[in-house]
Structure 1
Amino acid sequence: MNVPAWLWIATIAGLLVLLAVDLVIVDRKPHEVTIGEAARWVVFYVAIAGLFGVGLWLLFGSQYSTEFFAGYITEYSLSVDNLFIFLIIMTTFKVPAIHQHKVLLIGILLALVMRGGFIAAGAALISQFSWVFYIFGAFLIYTGWQLARENHDNDDEEEFKENIMLRLVRKVFPVTDDFHGANSFIKIDGKRYVTPMFIVMVAIGSTDLLFALDSIPAIFGLTKEPFLVFTANAFALMGLRQLYFLLGGLLSKLVYLSVGLSVILGFIGVKLILEALHTNQLSFLNDGQPLHVPTIGIEVSLSVIIGVLAITTIASLLKVKRDPEAQKHVGSNA
C-alpha cells in the first residue's frame, strides 16, 4: 500500500478539523451531554469512518478497505472496555457532568498523540524483524487469558488506582483540592497550581495508553499498513467520547464484555502466530524455511470479531435481565 504524502497530510488535517468542530460546537458552552446529543455524534463519527473506508476501497481496493474496517471495529470494541475505566475515573475524582466531555476530549487527544508513537515504533519493528509477530501473538494470547481470568475473579466493586504518570505529576506540581471551573491551571497567591481537571485528563490519556499495549499489537495482526493502523485508532478514539455518554448505565450491564474481548485477542494472537509460521525466517525453526500452515483471511477475521461482539452483548443483557445483581459496580473512593 503506497500512501502518498498528500493523503497523510489531508487525513491528519481532516481529523484536526473534526476535533476543532467538536470542541467549538459541544464545548462552546459547557453542559451535560444528553443521550440524544451523544447518539447523533456517535452516528456522525461512525458514518465518517464508513465514508473513509469506502474512500479506501475506491483508492486502494477492497483488501485494504476490509483491513481498515476490521481494525476499526476491533479498536472500537476494545475501547468500550476502556469506557468502564473512564467511568471509574470520573466517579473517583467527582468530575462535574458539564466538564466531562472536555476532560475526555483532551485526554483522548493526548492518548492519540502517544499512540502515534507506539504505531510508528511497531511499524519500524515489523519492517525490520518479521519474527516480532511471534512476540505479538504470544502477548495477545496471554493478555486474552489474563483478561478472561480477571473477569472471572473480579470483585463487584472496582476502584481506580493512580499510575506512575499521575504520581509524577503530583510530585512536580501542587494540586488544588477543588475544581475551578474548566481550568487546568490556576494561580493562588502568586503560586501556580494544577487543578483536578488536569489530573483527570492525564489519567484518561495515560490509562488509554496502557490499553494500547494490547490493542495496537491486535490491529497489527489484522493489517501491517501503518496508515490503516493509525486511522483505525484515530476514528475509534474520536467516537469514543460520545459513546461514553451514550452507553452510560449500559456499561455496567456488559458483564461478559471482557470475556468477548479476551476471545478476540486470543483469536488475533493465533492468527499472528500462524502468519509468522507461514513466513518463518527463524533459523532454529524448520531450518529458517516457512511452514505450510493454514492462515486466517481478513474476511474471516472480520466475521469472527463481529460475531463475538454480538454474542457477548446479547449474552450480557440476558444475564443481567435474569440476575440484576450481576451488574458491575463502580467504586467511588478517591
Structure 2
Amino acid sequence: MAVSPLIWGITIVVILALLAFDYFFHIRKAHVPTLKEAAIWSSIYVGIALVFGILVLVFGGATMGSEYFAGYITEKALSVDNLFVFLIIIASFKVPREDQQKVLLFGIVFSLIARTGFIFLGAALINSFAWVFYAFGLILLLTAGNLLKPKSNGDEADNFMIRLARKFFHTSEHYDGDKLFTVENGKRVLTPMLLVMVAIGGTDILFALDSIPAIFGLTQNVYIVFTATAFSLMGLRQLYFLIDGLLDRLIYLSYGLAAVLGFIGVKLILHAMHENTLPFINNGEPVPVIEITTGLSLTVIIGVLVITVLASLLSKAGKAQTAINNARRHAVNYLDLDYTADPAERERIYTALREEERQIETMDPKYRNKAKDVEAIRAEVAKAHRKHEEYLSP
C-alpha cells in the first residue's frame, strides 16, 4: 500500500513535536526523574506506538499492521539491548545523573537521524539490487553470532573518535553543568558532556547497521520501517531510568535477540533465494523455497522475547548477577566525589548500595560467588563503607 506525501508529512511533524515536547518540558531543566515519572511517560510513549499501530491496522490492512507490530517489537527489543551500552558509556564518563536525560535524548535524536539515512539507503539498494537481501541476511547471522559471545566489561567510551578528540583538541576532565564547552585557564575547552555525546553518536551508527537489516527482513514498506523504528526509540530515555536497575537482570536477553536476528537472517536469505538474480545460484533463476509469513515472524519474535525475559527474571543466577553488578556500580559512583553536584545523590547511592548488599546476603552462596571479579567488587564496596564513615565523622 502506497503512503501519500500528506501522511508522511503529518507523521514526521508528530514525531518532531514529540521530540520537542520531550526537550522543552522534561530535559531543559536538569533533574533526576522519579520512578513514577519514568513509568508514566514510558507507558504514554508505548501507548502512542500501540495506537499508531492500530491506525495502521485499520487503514492499511492486516498485513501492513502486522508488519508494523513485528518491526516495532523487534526494534524495541534491540533498543533495550542498546541501553546496556549506553549505561556503560554514561558510567565511564561519570555523567551527573541529573544531566543523563539530555545525553539520552541526544542519543535518540542522533539515532533517529542515522537510522533514517540507512532506511532510505537500504530501500534504494533493495529496489536496485535484489541480491542485497543476501547481504542483509548474512549481516544479521553474523550479528546473532556476536551476541552469543561474552560481553566485554571494558571501557566502551574509549573509542577512536574520543581518543582523536582528546589528542587534537583541548578537553576538560570536569563537567560545567550541561555545557558542551567551558573556559579553563583562559582557554575554551571541550567538556566531557560533548565527548560523551560523540561516544553515544558513534555507537548509534553501529546499532543502525544491525537494526535496519533486521526490520527490512520483516517488511520492505519504507513507511512502516521508518515509523516502527521511530516509535521504538520514543520513550527510550524514560525506559532507561525505569529499568536502570533491571538491565543487568536480563542475563538471557542476548540469547533471545540472537535467536530473533538469526531467524530474520534466515528469512531474508530465503526471500533472496525466492527473488534470486545472481547467475552463480541456480543459473540466475529464482529458487523454489518456503517463504516465512509476517504472521509467523510476529509469533516467533514475541514468543522468543517473552521466554527470554521470563527466564531472566526468574533465574536465581540473574538475580545474583543483578545485585552484584549494581553493588559494584553504586560503590564506584559513591567513591567518585565529583560524580554529581547534587548532595542528595550521594546519600541515594549509598542507600542503594546497602539495599543491594542486604539482597546479596540472603542469596545462595553458589550464585553470588560465581560473579566475575567478586573479590575486587568486595574491595570496592568495603572502600565505599570506609569513605561513608569518614564523611559522617565530624
- 2:193 pairs, out of 192, 197, 209, with 197
Superimposed CA distance per residue, residues 246-279 of structure 1 (whole angstroms, 9 cap, x where no aligned partner) = 1011101111111111001100000001111112
Aligned to 1:276: 272
Which deviates more, 186-195 or 197-206?
186-195
In 2, Cα distance between equivalents of 1:122 and 1:167 = 31
In 2, Cα distance between equivalents of 1:111 and 1:310 = 26
What percent of counterpart residues are identical? 52
- Higher relative contact order (CA closer than 8 Å, sequence separation 6+): 1
Task: Say whether the 8 Å CA contact 1:252–1:328 is kept in structure 2.
Answer: no
Supply the AA of the counterpart residue of 1:98: E
Aligned to 2:2: 2
Superimposed CA distance per residue, residues 119-169 of structure 1 (whole angstroms, 9 cap, x where no aligned partner) = 111111111001110111112112101211x13xx46x4532422333333
In 2, Cα distance between equivalents of 1:164 and 1:301 = 38
- 2:161 pairs, out of 153, 160, 165, with 165
Aligned to 1:100: 100
Secondary structure of residue in 1 paired with 2:171: coil
Pair 1:79-2:79 in alignment = yes
- 2:172 pairs, out of 170, 173, 176, with 176
Task: Say whether the 8 Å CA contact 2:53–2:65 is kept in structure 1.
Answer: yes
* CA drift at 1:189: 5.4
Task: Say whether the 8 Å CA contact 2:46–2:235 is kept in structure 1.
Answer: yes
Report the RMSD for the aligned CA atoms in angstroms: 2.1
Task: Say whether the 8 Å CA contact 2:111–2:204 is kept in structure 1.
Answer: yes
Aligned to 2:138: 138
Aligned to 1:52: 52
1:261-300 superposed matches below 5 A: 261-300=257-296
Task: Say whether the 8 Å CA contact 2:157–2:199 is kept in structure 1.
Answer: no
Task: Say whether the 8 Å CA contact 2:114–2:204 is kept in structure 1.
Answer: no
In 2, Cα distance between equivalents of 1:211 and 1:48 = 24
In 2, Cα distance between equivalents of 1:327 and 1:259 = 21
Task: Say whether the 8 Å CA contact 1:109–1:205 is kept in structure 2.
Answer: no
Pair 1:214-2:210 in alignment = yes
Distance of aligned partners of 1:7 and 1:328 in 2 relative to their CA distance in 1, 3 Å threshold:
farther
In 1, Cα distance between equivalents of 2:322 and 2:102 = 32
Task: Say whether the 8 Å CA contact 2:134–2:269 is kept in structure 1.
Answer: yes
TM-score (norm. length: structure 2): 0.79
Supply the AA of the counterpart residue of 2:237: R
Task: Say whether the 8 Å CA contact 1:147–1:258 is kept in structure 2.
Answer: yes
TM-score (norm. length: structure 1): 0.92
Aligned to 2:116: 116
Task: Say whether the 8 Å CA contact 2:217–2:268 is kept in structure 1.
Answer: yes
Q: Which has the larger radius of gyration?
A: 2
Supply the AA of the counterpart residue of 2:180: S
Distance of aligned partners of 1:50 and 1:232 in 2 relative to their CA distance in 1, 3 Å threshold:
same
Distance of aligned partners of 1:57 and 1:325 in 2 relative to their CA distance in 1, 3 Å threshold:
closer
In 2, Cα distance between equivalents of 1:320 and 1:207 = 31
In 2, Cα distance between equivalents of 1:53 and 1:227 = 12
Task: Say whether the 8 Å CA contact 2:248–2:321 is kept in structure 1.
Answer: no
Task: Say whether the 8 Å CA contact 1:166–1:202 is kept in structure 2.
Answer: yes
In 2, Cα distance between equivalents of 1:322 and 1:251 = 10
Task: Say whether the 8 Å CA contact 2:141–2:262 is kept in structure 1.
Answer: yes
In 2, Cα distance between equivalents of 1:327 and 1:290 = 53
Secondary structure of residue in 2 paired with 1:193: strand
Superimposed CA distance per residue, residues 287-320 of structure 1 (whole angstroms, 9 cap, x where no aligned partner) = 2221221111111111111111111111112223
In 1, Cα distance between equivalents of 2:243 and 2:154 = 18
Pair 1:242-2:245 in alignment = no
Which deviates more, 170-179 or 97-106?
170-179
Task: Say whether the 8 Å CA contact 2:72–2:228 is kept in structure 1.
Answer: yes
Count of aligned pairs: 330
In 2, Cα distance between equivalents of 1:200 and 1:68 = 32
1:57-72 superposed matches below 5 A: 57-72=57-72
Unaligned runs of 5+ in 1: none
In 2, Cα distance between equivalents of 1:105 and 1:172 = 27
In 2, Cα distance between equivalents of 1:175 and 1:119 = 35
Distance of aligned partners of 1:93 and 1:322 in 2 relative to their CA distance in 1, 3 Å threshold:
closer
Unaligned runs of 5+ in 2: 337-394
Secondary structure of residue in 1 paired with 2:243: helix
Task: Say whether the 8 Å CA contact 1:256–1:315 is kept in structure 2.
Answer: yes
Secondary structure of residue in 2 paired with 1:214: helix
In 2, Cα distance between equivalents of 1:161 and 1:19 = 26
Which deviates more, 28-37 or 38-47?
28-37
In 2, Cα distance between equivalents of 1:238 and 1:251 = 18
Aligned to 1:22: 22
In 2, Cα distance between equivalents of 1:173 and 1:93 = 17
